[in-house]
Amino acid sequence: MRARRPEGRWLLAAAVAALVVVAVVAISLLVWSGMPADQKGAVSDAVAGQILTLLIGAALGVAALVAAVARLVGRYTATARRLTAETRLLLEANPEHRLDRSGPAELTELATAVDDLAERRRVAVREVDSHIRAAQASLTQERNRLAALMAELAAAVIVCNVDGQILLYNAAARSVLGDDAAVGLGRSVFGFIDRDLLAHALDRIEHDSATSSHVAITVRGEQLLQVRVAPFRGPDGGITGFVLLLEDLTDRMNRSTRRDDLLRDLTEGTRSSLASIQAAIETVMDYPDMDADERRQFLGIVREESHLLGRRVETWVAESGAHAGAEWLPTEMSVADLLAVVCRALEREGTVAVSVRHGAADALWVRVDSHALARALAQMAGRLHDEVGVGELTLAATPDGSHAQLEMSWPGPPPRPARFQAWLDQPLTGLAASSARDVVARHGGEIWSGGPAGAAPDLRLLLPLTEAEPQPAPHTSLDLASRPEFYDFGLFDRQQQSLAWADRDLGDLSYTVFDTETTGLDPTGGDQIISVGAVRVVNRRLLRNESFERLVDPQRRVPASSTAVHGITSEMLVGQPTIDVVLPAFARFAADTVLVGHNVGFDMQFLRLAESRTGVQLTQPVLDTLLLDAALHPHHDEHSLEAIAGRLGVAVLGRHTALGDALVTGEVFLGMIPLLQQRGITTLGEASAASRVTLAARLDRSLYNS
């Protein structure tokens, strides 16, 4: 966008003055040529005597003429430019805007005519909108029904496009993941689901015509998630997205573990009580001549242990019912996740120290009952600890043809072969399978102990890969055509681009519009952030339900002068998290988005100082609505948030609260995008460049480097 040079009107004025001078000189020469000789002499003598005065007068006259013409031209051009900018504003952003009718009479008439034309346009638009609303009434009603149904579903549902960008989700999905920053429109599912899982699921579905969905398990922190993946196909049959059904299996794992502990307590307690009862009875029978007091003592032991045994059984019956149904069905999972589950089971046992050595096999997939395998290996580790003295184990996996080989190695001696075989046949606590050997056999695998000569002893478990023996995954039929796309129908066509930030179109980017409130105006003088508010903009829509609002303990008093502006007192901040906690949470919320704020250099100064303390870096680009408005409306003197909102027809509510200001700024920014595009500013790089050439940016360029 090129600005017109202000000296243009002076050049025009000089040209007009030059024409006037040329005309005067030409007329003077014509008059001179027609004079008699005696008159020419008299005129020459008169002019020669006043030559200096005439030259000064002529120069002053020309200067006055130039100034008058420049003022007249400047008045017309400034008014014309203002009317042009306001007309664009009326057409692109605020149809209710009325043009300023001050200025020359001819341009005032033009402004009146434009306002009349705009009013006719407004009437026509209202009529068209009325017809559209009437035509869409039934569609909206049906859409709302689908939205209500989706919101009430107990199943956690997420819909994403082929690039993993979230297009739709329900409240159950956010509840399962338990993190406000994990789920949101436009966010990536790869923040909580491994990218290889979707690729693996797609490969399985494409190569098995009988499979319409795929089930797998993945580990997310302390969570174990079951993910059912079903493709969403477009009109041409190509896959345009995925429907994901999530289930948190962590509670089932905990219930199964608790049931195992109950059964272990019952088994060990019963063995101890029966041993005591047997010893007491045998003593009484072996010594029939013992005195009455000793006999009563041994019978008391029998009575006490019998009661204790009865209470254990009652406890088992009472509690085992609450943990019934915790058996897991075999499910596909990556070898890396299987190692994580086994490691977690060994750590819960607490008998040995465990480490995991990752390798090439981690990306392989197996179909397993992970709980049964984990229990079997945990029991083998317990035997190694109790009978061989092993205190440290290392888990690893290697590819072996069509199988994955899990290795559990340790420093120290190996178990005797006969003893190891006996361990494999010992019953496993709390599982339907009778032994570790049965668990391995059920998976079609092999287990042995040994290792190359001179190497550390190990236990090896060989499991078939899913690609070697494909099995149809259990699935529920999904009516994909009826899935409500009530959040945004157009996002299926908006696959994430792999362009650099600067080359991305403004309409294709996701934004985090934010604002802060502080104890004062001097970040380097000790003032601190006391509130952060933000809202996301995705696909040119302000997502009010995806907001971020946190109070921050500044660990200092809030001055009364600052409280008078934002209403936040020191007492309100007692017990709130510090910026060391809030900034990482905000960084997660704003990940992979462009930051937007009004007079954002002020907020960024505070955040950059906090970055140095927390180690969190906000590396994404930043846009400032103040600078953008200065680029769009250079002839307006007022660029405050209220002034811009007024020009764009945005209602100002909740002013001087962090979230309230963020919401207003978001509405303002959305109104600016079509105005920028109308000026030829369509990419982020062009918007940043337009901001940097404004006067406000030149005052402190360092604040606005993106």
In angstroms, the CA 294 to CA 284 distance is 9
Name the amino acid, one letter, at 8: G
Tokens of 630: 């200065």
Q: Please, what's the b/e burial string for 110-126 (b: 16 or more CB within 10 A of its CB; e: otherwise)?
A: bbeebbeebeeeeeeee
Report the 10 Å Cβ neighbour count for 574. Answer: 9
Tokens of 221: 């922190």
- Choose among 436, 177, 197: nearest CA to 333: 197
**DSSP conformational letter for 472:** P
| 635 has catalytic annotation | no
Instruction: From the candidates 207, 307, 358, 656, give the one annotated as an active-site residue.
Output: 656
β-sheet bridge partners, residue 683: 505
User: Hey, which bits of 469-616 come out as E strands?
Assistant: 511-518, 529-538, 541-551, 594-597
> What Rg do the C-alpha atoms of the chain give, in angstroms?
40
By DSSP bridging, strand 331-334 and strand 365-368 are antiparallel
Plot region of 318 (φ>0 → left; ψ -120 to 50 → alpha; else → beta): alpha
For tokens 């668990």, what's the residue? 439
Helix (H), strand (E), coil (C) string for 65-91: HHHHHHHHHHHHHHHHHHHHHHHHHHH
Contact 409, 451 (CB under 8 A): yes
In angstroms, the CA 492 to CA 218 distance is 25
Contact 544, 693 (CB under 8 A): no
Tokens of 227: 């993910």
What are the residue numbers of the active site?
A: 656
